[in-house]
Structure formats: structure tokens, C-alpha cells
Amino acid sequence: MASKKVMVGMSGGVDSSVAAALLLEKGYDVIGVTMHMWEDPTTEDVREDACCSLSAVEDARRVANKLKIPHYVLNFKDIFKKTIVDYFIDEYLKGRTPNPCIACNKFIKFGIFIEKALSMNIDYVATGHYARIVYDNDKERYLLKKALTKEKDQSYVLYNIKKENLSRVLFPIGDYDKNEVRNLAKKYELPVATKPDSQEICFIQDNDYAGFINRIAKENIKPGYFVDTKGNILGEHKGIINYTIGQRKGLGISFGKPMYVVRIDSKNNQVVLGDAEDLFSTELIAEDVNFLSIDSLEEPLKVNAKIRYSAKESPATIYPLEEGKVKVIFEQPQRAITPGQSVVFYDGDIVVGGGIIS
């Protein structure tokens, strides 16, 4: 029997390079693909570090050559601009704080990339994410689970893979930790073994997201007022895109006591400031919800919920609402629940589902 074909998304980094090597070792017919997603039209600088830069393509190609697997570059620039970059800017203009990696996983890496692979008779797609997909015999379904090593777990950003696609996705490094992956890279003599991790949003340079939005959507950014929770004007802000919930530094005014951004009111172009305790809340509404371990939410369910990538999970109960929305009530107040970020529900290691905080 011919071996199963898998297309592995290769960013030129250590994780996806090792993923490709592991698949090869397991006997798959591996095809390397680098997704070409973004070129900043407003800068002439050459980007070195991001996963969508040319040097990423070259690194991935070098790894593919080393592994003796074919390597292709697929152009996803149009769809990336539409579903990620434009969305990212829109969200900020609406006073929300988006997570572009989650959108990218939904629309690109586990969206169009899977479609492309299927159209070319490829059985699986794989990426270098730290997460696991396992078949559960009792539930008779594929489950998305956390990586074995919790420190690096990336299941949070993967909750909106469509459930029918779980059977087509492989996460070869989900059983390893970062050190093991680096050691594997050395063992396989991959030319990227010592490459640093990328931490930033791939299409934004120097982490300066506000500068980026300013360059692209300048005309939509207007100064407005900082107000307190009662609506009293406290001062002038530089445009709501510059602020995020929970922010304390960089407000440009001193108040004699610590003040935090507690809400962004895009309709009135106002940034609401309050005390630390004003940041805490026990409930939220999630929209654009995707469930993985259940078909749909019919009755309240106890879960552990996580409100941002770096947040700790916290016990909560989720309740079904109309139009597929979900209400989440935490047992303990959560700090800085931020519209636009995702809330992800867990049952132990299993990702139950998640949605975007409204």
C-alpha cells in the first residue's frame, strides 16, 4: 500500500521543521509547504524573523532539502489580507483586541490549507503546534487535547478547527516539550536547530501594532476622551486603537492613583478608566462559538475556561444562548475580560470548544 500523504506547513522555524522530520520517520509521504501570507506594503525594510518573510521561505526550503522532501510555496496573500489583516484592523477600530493567530488558524492553516490539500489528493495536513489530536473510542470522535507538556501548550489558539477536520490534522510535536524538539532538530541536523522562537504577530514589525494600524487606517483614528466609570471627562486619548482592557501604562496622563482601561466605547470614541477592582468580572458572552468534544451545547456545562492565551484556566459554567452564543459564568472574578479575545473551554486535557468574547 502506498504511504499516506501529508502536507506539512513549514514556517522555517524549529517546531514545524521537526514536525516534518518526525512525520518522515513515521513513514508518511511528506510534502513541505510554506504559506506566503503577507508583505507589508508600507515598508521597504526586509523582514528577517517573521513566519511570512522571504527568509522564512528560504529556511523552510533548506530544511526540506535536508530532509529530501518536496517543498512548495502557496500564495495565501489575498485571503490573509481579507480574513486576518483587515479583520485585525477592524477589530481595533471597534475598540476590541483581536487575536490574529486564532483567525489565521481558522481561515488559513486549518481552512484553505486543508481545502487545498484535499483538492490535491493529500490525506492529512500537519503543523508544528504543541497540541494533540487523539481518537476517543468511547465517544467515537476525534478530540483536540493539550500538549503533553503544559508550559508550551497551544491548544488555546486551535479551538476553532472545524470538528470534521480534526481527523485530517496531525500535530507531530504535541508529545514533546521545547527542549526535546530542539534536541530532535539537532539529531536530524536541521539547519534551524538554534533559531529563536518567534513571539510577535507575524505581520507586524517590532510588536508596534498601533503604528501598523496608524499607517494603514490613519483616517479612521481620531483622538477622543478618557472618561471615568461615571462618564466624567478625565483627559484626551490618541485614538481608541492605542488601548486595551487592563492597560495602565502609556495613558499619557497621571491621576495620582493607578488607573486602568476598563472599557472601550467605540461608539462614543471614549476610553473608560477605572480602579483595579473595576477590571474584575465574573461573566461574559462568547460568540462565533465552535465546539469540538460535543456537537452542541444543549444544557449548562461545567468547564475550565481560559480568557486569553496567557491567562490561567478557571472553573466556570457555560450556558447556551440564542444564535449559538454562550454565556460563561466564572466561580471566581476574572481580571480584564477583553472583547475580541477568545475564551476557550476545557474538560481536563480536552478542548471542549471556544468562542470570541463579545
Partner 1 sequence: MEKTIYFDHAATTPVRPEVLEAMLPFFTEKFGNPSTIYSYGRESKKYIEDARDKVAKALGAQSKEIFFTGSGTEADNWAIKGVAYANRKKGNHIITTSIEHHAVLHTCNFLEKEGFEVTYLPVDKDGLVDPEQVREAIKPETILISVMFANNEIGTIQPISEIGKIAKEKGIIFHTDAVQAVGSVNVNVEELNVDLLSLSAHKFYGPKGVGALYIRRGTKITSFMHGGAQERGKRASTENVPGIVGLGKAIELATANIEGNAKYVKRLRDRIIDEVLNTIPYVRLNGHREKRLPGNINFSFEFIEGESLLLLLDMKGIAASSGSACTSGSLDPSHVLLAIGLPHEIAHGSLRITLGPDNTDEEVDYFLSVLPEIVGRLREMSPLYEAVKNKNKSKK
The yes-or-no answer on residue 52 being catalytic is: no
CA distance 279 to 262: 6
Q: Which residues contact 278 (CB under 8 A, 6 or more apart)?
A: 229, 260, 262
Which of 4, 36, 141, 263 is in the footprint of partner 1 by CB under 8 A? Answer: 36
Q: Which is nearer to partner 1, 119 or 310 (CB)?
A: 119
Q: Give CA angle at 207 (203, 210), nearest 5°.
A: 90
Which phi and psi (to 5°) does residue 97 adopt? -120, 95
Which of 82, 86, 120, 175 is in the footprint of partner 1 by CB under 8 A? Answer: 120
Task: State the nearest-atom distance from the C-beta of 187 to partner 1, in Å.
Answer: 28
Q: Does 79 bind partner 1 (CB under 8 A)?
A: no
The yes-or-no answer on residue 101 being catalytic is: no
CA distances to 19, 31, 118, 173, 191 from 69, rounded to whole Å, are 13, 6, 19, 19, 15
Q: Does 343 bind partner 1 (CB under 8 A)?
A: no
Task: State the nearest-atom distance from the C-beta of 23 to partner 1, in Å.
Answer: 17
Which of these is catalytic: 51, 52, 101, 104? 104
Is-contact 27 76, C-beta < 8 A?
Answer: no
Q: Does 116 bind partner 1 (CB under 8 A)?
A: yes
Which of 4, 62, 66, 74 is in the footprint of partner 1 by CB under 8 A? Answer: 74
Task: State the nearest-atom distance from the C-beta of 68 to partner 1, in Å.
Answer: 12
Q: Does 54 bind partner 1 (CB under 8 A)?
A: yes
CA distances to 52, 204, 235, 236 from 224, rounded to whole Å, are 35, 25, 8, 6
CA atoms within 13 A on the CB side of 31: 19
Q: Does 81 bind partner 1 (CB under 8 A)?
A: no
Which of 6, 57, 344, 351 is in the footprint of partner 1 by CB under 8 A? Answer: 57
Residue positions counted in the chain: 358
Q: Which is nearer to partner 1, 5 or 238 (CB)?
A: 5
Question: What number of other Cβ atoms are within 10 A of residue 267's Cβ?
Answer: 7
Binding residues for partner 1 (CB under 8 A): 34, 36, 54, 57, 70, 72-75, 77, 115-116, 118-121
> What residues are annotated to the active site?
104, 202
